[in-house]
Structure 1
Amino acid sequence: MFSKKRAFAAVAVAAGAALALAGCSGGGAGSDGGSTPTFNPDEKVTLNMSFWGNDVRADLYNKVIAEFEKKYPNITVNSSFLAFPEYWEKRQTEAAGGGLPDVMQFDYSYLRQYSQNGLLLDLGPYLGNIIDTKPLADNILSIGVVDDTTTAIPTSTNAWGMYTNPKLLEQAGVDEFAGGSWSDYSDWMKEVTDASGGAFYGGTDYTGRIQNFELQLRSEGKDLFSEDGKPGFDKARLKKFWESSASNREDGVVIPQQKLEEISPKSGFDTAQTASELTWDNFGSGYLGNLGADYTELGLIAPPVTKEGAKDLYLKPSMLEAISAKTKHPEAAATLVDFLINSPESGEIFGTNRGLPASETALAAAKLDPLSQQIADYEASIKDRLGDAPPVPIVGYGTLENKFLELGQELNFGTVTVDDAVDQFFSEMDVVLNQ
């Protein structure tokens, strides 16, 4: 398993090098900050648009595009889709050849890489005119900014949270986690594990996820990485984090790594072997699907607090929409992006297929199922903890996230010491930051 991840990381590094060679110096028409761009509805235009997904999402896109072409009959949209890995392989090939689609569904982890290589259109001139910004909060718009330039706009958002299993808690006779510190959370997990008599566990070792480390750093006024790629932590801070859950691992409070290996690729939570899971809030439908027909609801609450009053949480894009810097029709492309993000038709048709709509107009039109409404209510409930999104992930962030996860697994197995894990992570980080 580890060798596959390292192989993937090598592919990602090679792809980054290819994109660097493919980078172009300027944006497309309309990105020079000149006169306000407007779309001529009488101009006949054909746009190519790509997205990742499956047949279900493709059907939804086809319906939205049909509504768009009704409103703008002179614009023809040709769409195509692939599964996520193949989608980015094709984009990398197109980037090297200078032929990216006019409009692209975009992933946050690739945004800096493509933006800094000049492959994405500066959307600044289109914001507030062709692309309506009124339904989009400032902290939503800021998500798509790289080096002070808006190169993508979120279609939808999610936030870090904690899912809980009400059935398991009822079996254990333990109340829902009432909130509190990370130490309080550890105590609660121990109570659940002890009460279950070994049938299930309170949770998974939270120090295996880099997002929980990020949460603690944000409470201290720091980011994982700054805009210019500087880490917001040193070896001592990382060691403190990994040591904070040592007793959970050693005393059997959290699910053992061997059990997690046996049920992979599912997690302890969606196999009903843990009563809680810290993760992105859009994972709920997947959990319910894996848990089966006996489960119709989950708990969803805020993660533990590191420092009271801190703006440690933030909204992350489930996905974004971006435009090629070389598009020949930037105004028409921006019109399509606005429709995909803001239109009531888009909200009604997509619902939460792309995540909770980021636009107020699209969200108002979306028909939310009970779980989606629960997620919307959750994101509203954490409003006081929501801060600005961190800088867009550094190039190579995915490699570091995987390394952090691997080391967390080895700590849970007991095959590496905390000191060794810290050294290994910093060695990997040095390679990524200096490639």
Structure 2
Amino acid sequence: MRGWTKVFQLKKSAFLATSALAAAALLLTGCGAANSPEKEGTADDPVTIRFAWWGNDARAKTTLEVIEAFEAENPGIKVKGENTEFSSYWDKMATQVAGGDTPDVITMSGSYPSEYSSRGVLLDLEKVQDKIDTSTFAPGTVDLGQINGKQYTITAGVNSMAMVLDPAVFKAAGVEVPDDETWTWDEYQDIATKITEGSPAGTFGTTPMANDSFLAVWARQGGEPLYADDGKKLGISEARVADWMKLNLELQKSGGSPTASQVVEDGSAQPEQTLLGQGKQGMKVSWSNQMNSYSGNELVMMKLPGESEQGGTWLRSSMEYGISAKSKNTAAAAKFVSFLVNSEEAGKLIKSDRGMPANLDVRSVVKPLLEENQQKEAVYLDRVAEMKLTPPLPFPAGSSATMEVLNRNMTDVLFEKAPPEAGAAKFVEEVNLNLDK
């Protein structure tokens, strides 16, 4: 592994489930690429690889431009792009895997690298270590693709949890913007309530966050991991989960947050149609790269409450690239992955759409091209990096349903169908059952 260590800087010691179809499909896959020598493509007789990703039409247009640039530089390789909306991406992927029709290069996120690598779907990238150079990646970002000491993915870009604020809402309510180096969750609650009290009807201080990645931040701030190191059960305690549910129920009762039905409606709205997007919300826990999706007033990005006492956030892969273990063209696939993450030409096209580039050389080229909100994200991510917080282990196999379980039980608490303690207990029980399968 010495050569691999130079390229990937591997550590020596050692993230909604789509359906039952996904698990069953993955179990049907075989492990390992074909043993026959790979074909060397030429301009007259190129090899063809398939690249799958999710996203809207704008992302598809940009990605096809990147593919065109890659093919111009590599005339012996053709890339067939396959774009799917996120809502159906993983169901489609599971079907393809089950049918032995897995794309060569797969875009991944969350717990799916763990799910897929544990069933032999992803190639151990040690086999193509000479094709992907990560020597200029930001410290720690290569490690984000490692599972049980093996490199299964390469990060497409990084983002992090943040608090997005609308200063105009603060000003209209007569509330001062907090100091994000010192503020606490108690202050967050107080500020949210004051914003609602000082605003016109229909404008609120905040809305709840029911996301497993945020819950990991909340857990880490309390000195607990979200998942146990062995990935077989949760590491966060029922009490810590109940505290988060209780905090949001209290915010709802004080008026700092909307009613439960409004929260559900806001959670399913497009970014520009959310309360924050309409200029009717003061604060929102959000992924850093999502600030660029909200319309309306000029927004700012701050550290989450509690980060000054014990940091919980970390730089996370917003998207990752893996290669199919059954690909017949792993060298070509690896060369394409390397182009996606290392090419300045690709970086200029993608910018921060898949997260802030992990390659520092590409990032330096991309930064001047970013819009104002994207520039703010870059500054924020630099601040997170300066905290030098160790990322948690990759979310384990079986955890892809955690966000849905959390959201459902949080909703029950907000509708007061269950007290926070019961909602937390049910959440822990359900997730542990998923992890133990």
The verdict on how the C-alpha distance between 1:162 and 1:214 changes in structure 2, with shifts beyond 3 A counting, is: same
Structure 1 unaligned residues grouped into runs of 5+ = 1-7, 31-36
The verdict on how the C-alpha distance between 1:197 and 1:79 changes in structure 2, with shifts beyond 3 A counting, is: closer
Kindly provide the CA deviation profile for residues 38-96 of structure 1, in whole angstroms up to 9, marking residues without a partner as x: x9989943222222223322222222222212222222222222222333223212211
The verdict on how the C-alpha distance between 1:333 and 1:353 changes in structure 2, with shifts beyond 3 A counting, is: same
> How many equivalent residue pairs?
412
Match of 2:243 in 1: 240
Q: Counterpart of 2:332 in 1: which secondary structure? A: helix
1:14 aligned onto 2:16: no
Match of 1:270 in 2: 277
Match of 2:145 in 1: 144
The verdict on how the C-alpha distance between 1:259 and 1:101 changes in structure 2, with shifts beyond 3 A counting, is: closer
Match of 1:385 in 2: 387
The structural deviation recorded for 1:199 is 4.8
The verdict on how the C-alpha distance between 1:173 and 1:98 changes in structure 2, with shifts beyond 3 A counting, is: same
Rounded to whole Å, the distance in 2 between the matches of 1:120 and 1:131 is 16
Superposition map of 1:234-383 within 5 A? 234-263=237-266, 265-266=268-269, 267-288=274-295, 291=296, 295=297, 297-305=298-306, 308=309, 310-366=310-366, 367-383=369-385
Residue 411 (structure 2) aligned to one of 365, 388, 409: 409
Rounded to whole Å, the distance in 1 between the matches of 2:354 and 2:115 is 22
Are the counterparts in 2 of residues 192 and 202 from structure 1 also a CA contact under 8 Å? yes
Rounded to whole Å, the distance in 1 between the matches of 2:336 and 2:265 is 46
Q: Counterpart of 2:161 in 1: which secondary structure? A: strand
Q: Counterpart of 2:333 in 1: which secondary structure? A: helix
Q: Counterpart of 2:160 in 1: which secondary structure? A: strand
Q: Tell me the amino acid that sits aligned with residue 277 of structure 1.
A: K
The structural deviation recorded for 1:194 is 2.3
Q: TM-score, normalization: structure 1?
A: 0.86
Q: Counterpart of 2:318 in 1: which secondary structure? A: strand
Superposition map of 1:48-63 within 5 A? 48-63=50-65
Match of 1:33 in 2: none
Over the matched positions of the two proteins, sequence identity in percent amounts to 27
1:65 aligned onto 2:72: no
Match of 1:24 in 2: 30
1:93 aligned onto 2:80: no
Rounded to whole Å, the distance in 1 between the matches of 2:158 and 2:372 is 17
Rounded to whole Å, the distance in 1 between the matches of 2:421 and 2:224 is 22
Are the counterparts in 2 of residues 147 and 227 from structure 1 also a CA contact under 8 Å? no
Superposition map of 1:124-273 within 5 A? 124-127=126-129, 129-179=130-180, 180-196=183-199, 198-205=201-208, 208-229=210-231, 230-263=233-266, 265-266=268-269, 267-273=274-280
The verdict on how the C-alpha distance between 1:79 and 1:120 changes in structure 2, with shifts beyond 3 A counting, is: same
The structural deviation recorded for 1:167 is 1.5
The verdict on how the C-alpha distance between 1:90 and 1:307 changes in structure 2, with shifts beyond 3 A counting, is: same
- Of residues 184-193 and 165-174 in structure 1, the stretch that sits farther from structure 2 once superposed is 184-193
Are the counterparts in 2 of residues 225 and 232 from structure 1 also a CA contact under 8 Å? yes
The structural deviation recorded for 1:156 is 1.2
Rounded to whole Å, the distance in 1 between the matches of 2:89 and 2:236 is 34
Rounded to whole Å, the distance in 1 between the matches of 2:247 and 2:86 is 35
Rounded to whole Å, the distance in 2 between the matches of 1:239 and 1:28 is 49
The verdict on how the C-alpha distance between 1:430 and 1:106 changes in structure 2, with shifts beyond 3 A counting, is: closer
The verdict on how the C-alpha distance between 1:210 and 1:79 changes in structure 2, with shifts beyond 3 A counting, is: closer
The verdict on how the C-alpha distance between 1:116 and 1:138 changes in structure 2, with shifts beyond 3 A counting, is: farther
Rounded to whole Å, the distance in 1 between the matches of 2:214 and 2:58 is 32
Are the counterparts in 1 of residues 276 and 282 from structure 2 also a CA contact under 8 Å? yes
The structural deviation recorded for 1:432 is 0.9
Are the counterparts in 1 of residues 31 and 325 from structure 2 also a CA contact under 8 Å? no
The verdict on how the C-alpha distance between 1:238 and 1:353 changes in structure 2, with shifts beyond 3 A counting, is: closer
Match of 2:3 in 1: none
Are the counterparts in 1 of residues 159 and 289 from structure 2 also a CA contact under 8 Å? yes
Q: TM-score, normalization: structure 2?
A: 0.86
Kindly provide the CA deviation profile for residues 12-38 of structure 1, in whole angstroms up to 9, marking residues without a partner as x: 233212212x232335669xxxxxx9x
Match of 1:34 in 2: none
Q: Counterpart of 1:236 in 2: which secondary structure? A: helix
